[in-house]
Amino acid sequence: MPYLFTSESVSEGHPDKVADQISDALIDQFLAFDPESKVACETLVTTGQVFLAGEVKSKAYLDVQKIAREVINKIGYTKGEYMFDGSSCSVLSAIHEQSPDINQGVDRQAKEEQGAGDQGMMFGYATIETDNYMPLALDIAHALLIELAAIRRENTEIKYLRPDAKSQVTLEYDDNNKPTRIDAIVISTQHDDFDEEKVMLAKISSDIISILIPRVKAKYPKYAHFFNNDIKYHINPTGKFVIGGPHGDTGLTGRKIIVDTYGGKGAHGGGAFSGKDPSKVDRSAAYATRHIAKNLVAAGVCDEVLVQVSYAIGVAQPMGIYVNTYGTGKVGLNDGEIAKKVESIFNMTPYAIETRFKLRNPIYSETAAYGHFGKPSQIVTKTFTGHDGTTITKEVELFTWEKLDYVDKVKTAFGL
């Protein structure tokens, strides 16, 4: 029997995402000036205020106020009428030194023996639904808001947009778990004030359907027929949305973990990513399990897969690896047998993960909005300015965990 499945996304101007982006900007700055930095940084944003808290072990000293303001202004909170403005908001810091009790369990004389920075379980997921092996509903939800932000910055076709926004996409699936149509799309976007609410709602609805949707449709040639007149649209369904961002709601680091991952597909271990250096396996092992899942599907082992890894704090070797192919396996092995082969192909110790994906580089700001997965790996040049005016320019590779560099190894191991 057909069924419906829904995923949501939030824009870079959503208060929780503002917090994530500030936390990850701090991570990048620490790693740029001291790659061995150990950082766990939380951010809270509310009307006119930013609060920073966390634990750090680093040789680098940061001007955290300057970094936070730069992030806020880049997002687009640049006007006093937003009640949250990068140039005038208060920035308070309570960042302090990392506990030596935690650090002794992570650092080792031999780096290869580095222990996990925390206990827990992490999940990776991949599916053949899209070219980037991401779930379709989440991918479209992200695309809607990425394009909406681009339209806002262009400021030509739609001139009243403000930074905060949310999207939601509901797909119908058939009995074979294949998507067959878009049932509903929800868009809530912050906007400038209008004189008349009815005129405002009609204008926003018309612009979203006639300007935004065609731009998103063009990104999905395989599913272009899904974008038809039968979609149920709910555009700013509560009506007026002038008050938004951190003035409308308090934002906290790590509150959008499903948006950050797979939109509710697969599973989630519960640990947030942003604000954590790669010694925290909440982040690094989640990236590594996504890499495993994506390479398994791309190699033809299965059409869909969930991979779990788990750790004990201070222990290098994982507690175990679990694989679920949802009955889509193509190699004549059960999921337990597939998991055993995965263990032999992928070294999942924390140090091996950090090294394999070059995670001690300043590569995290780009992950902090519109998901940590599904984006193409690319090499970019980034420049960082220290508190004393010193600048560092680094060439870094983003989204290394999205590479299909283990497909041949997987095929060899599975005889494909």
Instruction: Give the residues across from 106 on adjacent strands.
Output: none
Cα 233 from Cα 91, distance rounded (Å):
39
The answer to whether 178 is annotated as binding is no
Q: Annotated binding residue at 241?
A: yes
Query: What are residue 294's phi and psi, to 5 degrees?
Result: -65, -40
**Is 17 flagged in the annotation as binding?**
no
- Residue 358 annotated as binding? no
181 assigned binding-site residue: no
List the structure tokens of 171.
Answer: 């797909």
Interatomic CA distance for residues 380 and 397, integer angstroms:
6
Give the phi and the psi of residue 336 in degrees, each rounded to 5.
-65, -40
Buried b (16+ CB within 10 A) or exposed e, 356-369: bbebbbbbbbbbbb
In the block, tokens 């797909």 appear at: 171
Q: Are 275 and 83 in contact (CB under 8 A)?
A: no
16 is in an annotated binding site: yes
Give the CA dihedral 156, 161, 164, 170, nearest 10 degrees. -80
Q: How far apart are CA 188 and CA 245, in angstroms?
A: 12
Is residue 164 part of an annotated ligand binding site? yes
Residue 232 annotated as binding site: no
Does 217 show up as a binding residue in the annotation? no
Residue 193 marked as a ligand binder: no
192: annotated binding-site residue? no
Please check if 154 is assigned to a binding site. Answer: no
65 among annotated binding-site residues:
no
Q: Does 98 belong to an annotated binding site?
A: yes
Binding residues for Mg(2+): 16
Binding residues for K(+): 42
Binding residues for L-methionine: 55, 98, 249, 280
Binding residues: 14, 16, 42, 55, 98, 164-166, 240-241, 249, 255-256, 272, 276, 280
Binding residues for ATP: 14, 164-166, 240-241, 249, 255-256, 272, 276
